[in-house]
Amino acid sequence: MTVQAQNIDAITAGAVPHEEPALTDGFHLVIDALKLNGIETIYNVPGIPITDLGRLAQAEGLRVVSFRHEQNAGNAAAIAGFLTKKPGICLTVSAPGFLNGLTALANATTNCFPMILISGSSEREIVDLQQGDYEEMDQLAIAKPLCKAAFRVLHAEDIGIGVARAIRAAVSGRPGGVYLDLPAKLFSQVIDGALGARSLVKVIDAAPAQLPAPSAVARALDLLKTAERPLIVLGKGAAYAQADEAVRALVEESGIPYVPMSMAKGLLPDTHPLSAGAARSTALKDSDVVVLVGARLNWLLSHGKGKTWGEPGSKRFIQIDIEPREMDSNVEIAAPLVGDIGSCVEALLAGIRKDWKGAPQGWLETIRGKREANIAKMAPKLMKNSSPMCFHSALGALRTVIKERPDAILVNEGANTLDLARGIIDMYQPRKRLDVGTWGVMGIGMGFAVAAAIETGKPVLAVEGDSAFGFSGMEVETICRYDLPVCIVIFNNNGIYRGTDTDPTGRDPGTTVFVKDSRYDKMMEAFGGVGVNVTTPDELKRAVDAAMDSGKPTLINAVIDPQAGSESGNIGSLNPQSTLKKKTA
Ligand code: ADP
Ligand code: TPW
Ligand code: MG
């Protein structure tokens, strides 16, 4: 055996973990660079050329969580980024594995979650001449338009810089997805150990505070003071920023009612007296000055116009965002406040503490009246003890679960299952509600659930439409393999939106229906987890409590009336429908 080979064996066997090895290689430099920057977990699917990278990373003390499909590993990394403000790392094999991870990378970018997709790739020389390498693909070019930044490293001594650039790109400014391309040959490049150690870069102050300009703060305060019906809208950027105390103080000291966007629920408890969540339509329509805190005026806020927002010209916006180009994206922003949320909110708060007359009582009364009426209207629906269950009665049970266990993390996807759960299940703590985000994408469920359990150590309740679950359902094996405290509840209404569609020709099942009366709980049993089938809200509550108490991987098949849902849930208005439907049957 050559000296060099002996050295490599010693490194890979971990025989000299603390001394600087005489030689190092690409594998070890990637691992050392990640560790140096505080990365603790990699979400992974192994294969050529990154199998050994995962193995060695595990041997070197990183947590390496292997999934059954890259999209789920990618979603796990993305939500890990949201929860921790550190980039979540997803590791994939070349071409097909890379492409499988790409949806999650694009989704992370769209949602402003910091993640890094690290993918092995084939030989540059062969790829560029298109000579048909194993899993050949120009991955860097394909990733570029779908993420915030994309880098490729060709030399072992550049790994430190490559990883540092990827980290800084992911978390600084508006966070997002970053692609890091590592060709197969890089991993086995051997260089001098001391040179390797010197080449590593520890990223200092990866997401620097960005203070708003004093003139911009003054402008925002001047506008806010003219408000007769002020409103604060909290978005997931505010949840991400972890400026929880400042945000709470802004609401409470100004006395301005607030509406939380879906993933900002719990930043203040949904039961807070200033919450206008249950009076959302009135609050948006009748407010005159709106403070957007880490929330974009995209489709989820009707682009800041139209009947959602009342009379044209009735609204002026103050927008807090780290991304200057977000201003005026849909409507004029009267007072842009560009900076990080912590700094901007603190600056507004300082102004309010100096001089603020409070929010007008009449406006607060209007919001309170509307909220109480809406809550009262909803209450009886949540108490029904029907079998099969409707969405409301099943969600009534889960609402109580979260009230009793406010530190549990709620993962939620589906159509009716999503829209109704968002409205019905109150959240009490920040960053406890994780869902389909800006795209309304199906398939985030199991990736988010795994990462939420791993990153926080808290119990996870995943409330899933039967269709939504199918996009990542195979990861129940992953949940069992890592023995995670995840309780999945499937709202089984036999299909997408409803279970009642038919094929007018009578040949096939309708396009939106699944096998009737499926027993998803058996999937969990197949891997050693607990499966339960429930048909009443009481049974559902008992089964979830048992799962949360035991911490055992559990899947509860909740039988929902197949007639109960509506097409596209709450966003049926976005769903074009033919008026020329052919009736064959
Ligand atoms: P929601 O869907 O909840 O309305 P969005 O995803 O549309 O939220 O908006 C989040 C916004 O928050 C983005 O425009 C993003 O630039 C911004 N953002 C993210 N992190 C920060 C931060 N630390 N400081 C300021 N703005 C931030
Ligand atoms: C990646 C389109 C939106 S909602 C949904 C689909 C397929 C499933 C709704 O059925 P489910 O919920 O989950 O059973 P429920 O309670 O209404 O019955 N592909 C992707 N993303 C989206 N959004 C779709 C398809 C869709
Ligand atoms: Mg369904």
The DSSP annotation for 525-571 comes to HHTT-EEEEE-SHHHHHHHHHHHHHH---EEEEEEB-TT---TTGGG
Taking a C-beta distance cutoff of 8 angstroms, is the pair 66, 466 a contact?
Answer: no
Q: What percent of the chain has pLDDT over 70?
A: 96
- The third-level CATH classification (topology) of the domain covering 384-566 is Rossmann fold (3.40.50)
Taking a C-beta distance cutoff of 8 angstroms, is the pair 178, 115 a contact?
Answer: yes
Other C-beta atoms closer than 10 Å to the C-beta of 99 total 17
Query: Would you say residue 255 has pLDDT above 60?
Result: yes
d(CA 260, CA 71): 28
Residue 513 CA to ligand 2 centre (angstroms): 12
Q: What is the pLDDT of residue 427?
A: 98
3-class DSSP state for residue 503? Answer: coil
Question: Which ligand 2 atom is the nearest neighbour of the CA of 499?
Answer: 18
Helices and strands in the chain: count of H runs, count of E runs: 23, 19
Pick the ligand that lies closest to the CA of residue 390: 2
Taking a C-beta distance cutoff of 8 angstroms, is the pair 95, 140 a contact?
Answer: no
Instruction: Kindly provide the residue ranges of all beta strands, DSSP E only, lying in 164-322, ordered along the sequence.
Output: 177-183, 190-192, 230-234, 258-260, 289-293, 316-321
The closest residue, in CA terms, to atom 4 on ligand 2 is 415
Q: Tell which CATH classification among 3.40.50.1220, 3.40.5.90, 1.10.287.10, 3.40.47.10 matches the domain 214-368.
A: 3.40.50.1220
Query: Would you say residue 128 has pLDDT above 70?
Result: yes
- Domain spans in the chain, listed from the N-terminal domain onward: 24-199, 214-368, 384-566
The whole-model pTM stands at: 0.96
Query: Would you say residue 585 has pLDDT above 50?
Result: no
Q: What is the pLDDT of residue 196?
A: 98
Query: Would you say residue 14 has pLDDT above 60?
Result: no
Q: Give the amino acid at 57.
A: A
Question: Which ligand 2 atom is the nearest neighbour of the CA of 565?
Answer: 17
Stretch 440-445: mean pLDDT, rounded? Answer: 98
Q: What is the pLDDT of residue 1?
A: 39
Interstrand relation of 23-25 and 190-192 (parallel, antiparallel or unpaired): antiparallel
d(CA 438, CA 361): 34
Residue with tokens 């590593």: 200
Q: Give the amino acid at 261.
A: M
Query: Would you say residue 10 has pLDDT above 80?
Result: no
Query: Would you say residue 492 has pLDDT above 90?
Result: yes
Residue with tokens 């679960």: 401
Q: Residues within 5 Å of ion ligand 3 by Cβ?
A: 465-466, 493
Taking a C-beta distance cutoff of 8 angstroms, is the pair 101, 92 a contact?
Answer: yes
Stretch 445-470: mean pLDDT, rounded? Answer: 98
User: CA triplet 498, 499, 500: central angle to 5 degrees?
Assistant: 100
The closest residue, in CA terms, to atom 24 on ligand 1 is 340
Inter-residue long-range contacts of 498-506, CB under 8 Å, 24+ positions, other chains counted: 498/562, 498/563, 498/564, 498/565, 498/566, 498/567, 499/562, 499/563, 500/562, 500/563, 502/585, 503/585, 504/582, 504/583, 504/584, 504/585, 505/584, 505/585, 506/585
The token pair that represents 36 in the structure block: 């140096």
pLDDT digits (tens, 9 = 90+) for 147-199: 999 999 999 999 999 999 999 999 999 999 999 999 999 999 999 999 999 99
Q: What ranges in 242-287 are assigned the alpha helix state H?
A: 244-254, 280-286
Question: Which ligand 1 atom is the nearest neighbour of the CA of 235?
Answer: 3
Q: What is the pLDDT of residue 579?
A: 86
pLDDT digits (tens, 9 = 90+) for 299-335: 999 999 999 999 999 999 999 999 999 999 999 999 9
Q: Is the CB–ligand 2 distance for residue 237 below 6 Å?
A: no
Q: What is the pLDDT of residue 583?
A: 61
H or E, element range at 430: none
Q: How far is CA 214 from CA 172, 247, 254, 353, in A?
A: 22, 19, 20, 16
User: CA triplet 404, 441, 268: central angle to 5 degrees?
Assistant: 35
Q: What is the mean pLDDT of the chain?
A: 95
Stretch 356-378: mean pLDDT, rounded? Answer: 96
Q: Ligand 2 pocket test: which of 75, 442, 490, 515 has the largest number of ligand atoms within 8 Å of its C-beta?
A: 442
pLDDT digits (tens, 9 = 90+) for 54-84: 999 999 999 999 999 999 999 999 999 999 9
Residue 529 CA to ligand 2 centre (angstroms): 26
d(CA 585, CA 581): 12
Report the DSSP beta bridge partners of residue 320. Answer: 293, 337
* Count of residues making up the chain: 585
Torsion sign across C-alpha atoms 419, 420, 426, 429: negative
CA 307 to centroid of chain Cα atoms: 29
Query: Would you say residue 522 has pLDDT above 50?
Result: yes
Q: Is the CB–ligand 2 distance for residue 514 below 6 Å?
A: no
Q: Is the CB–ligand 2 distance for residue 445 below 6 Å?
A: no
Query: Would you say residue 16 has pLDDT above 70?
Result: no
Whether 214-368 shares its CATH topology with 384-566 is answered: yes
Provide the pLDDT confidence category of residue 21 given band limits of 50, 70 and 90: confident
pLDDT digits (tens, 9 = 90+) for 385-439: 888 999 999 999 999 999 999 999 999 999 999 999 999 999 999 999 999 999 9
pLDDT digits (tens, 9 = 90+) for 537-551: 999 999 999 999 999
Residues 6+ apart with CB under 8 A from 551: 459, 485
Question: Which ligand 2 atom is the nearest neighbour of the CA of 471?
Answer: 1
**CATH code given to domain 24-199:** 3.40.50.970
Taking a C-beta distance cutoff of 8 angstroms, is the pair 185, 147 a contact?
Answer: no
d(CA 99, CA 83): 25
Residues 6+ apart with CB under 8 A from 352: 221, 224, 250, 253, 254
